[in-house]
Amino acid sequence: MAGRGTVKPHSGFNANNDAEVLYKAMKGLGTDEAAILQLLTARSNAQRQEIKAAYKTLHGKDLVDNLKSELGGKFESLIVALMIPPIMYDVKCLRDAIKGAGTDEKVLVEILASRSPNEVSQIKSLYKREHNDDLEEDVCGDTGGHFQRMLVVLLQALFAAGEQKFGTDEGQFITILGNRSNAHLRKVFEEYRKLSGYEIEESIQRETSGTLQEVLLAVVKCARSVPGYFADSLYSAMKGAGTDDKTLIRIMASRSEVDMLDIRAEFRKRFATSLHKMIQGDTSGDYRKALLLLCGGDDA
């Protein structure tokens, strides 16, 4: 997936210069939001970490704390998200989802179904290091029944080979989906369609409901196409009245360096509009400007 992001490392990067630009943008009365958003959306996450270190060295202050005190609302949330290293950001989102009032299952599903097995194991160990808690135990303590079993299977990321008969027993779906690589899953879906005459999604919708259904569909969508899964999630976050800004921020921040170009292409294929146009119509102000820079362009 190398190089499918819209945000690339800035050539001619100088952390000290960038730190100075940010310092000036926040110094004195008023804040130059435009300078902040233009700079930070044009640097890779690794470069933002270097800017943070340079800022601390030059000014003795924490850049993220300063940004938080100068910015506000959704724009602040987006900029702060961009400042967190990727695996740490996933850990933070998971922790907030588990420890907030009521579990935010959508976040657990999104992160655990879309990240690679290697990323999941990094997330698990960083979660342990940061919070001295076991991610699996936290998830189990917080979610019930089948959903919990599915998440645990995803967490363990056991990509076992070998065939298994399909049953409509929910435990079976969970075993088959949780223990597979995406390439293997796609073959299984194809076989399933030949044998049953149904797409696996149709069967999941018929045979299961509620959160379990959500998890299974997310896993299937990710196995078919991770960018397609994110395109669907972004569309859902913005369609109709109101906007799910938390989801919008989470996906735009976490995928901007990974596969945003593919997400945009999938979005354009699936819906009557482009991601750019939808963001433009659904958001406003500096928040909108920053999101559009992360989106990186319009697809006519």
Q: Inform me whether the pLDDT recorded for 168 exceeds 90.
A: no
Give the pLDDT score at 175. 55
Please state, for a pLDDT cut of 70, what percent of the chain lies above it. 86
Give the pLDDT score at 143. 66
What's the rounded mean pLDDT across residues 37-53? Answer: 98
What's the rounded mean pLDDT across residues 118-132? Answer: 90
What's the rounded mean pLDDT across residues 284-295? Answer: 98
Q: Inform me whether the pLDDT recorded for 71 exceeds 80.
A: yes
Give the pLDDT score at 1. 45
Q: pTM of the predicted model, to two decimals?
A: 0.89
Residue 172 pLDDT class (50, 70, 90 cuts): low
Smallest CA-to-CA distance from 78 within 67, 90, 94 is with 67
C-alpha R_g of the chain: 21
Give the pLDDT score at 212. 77
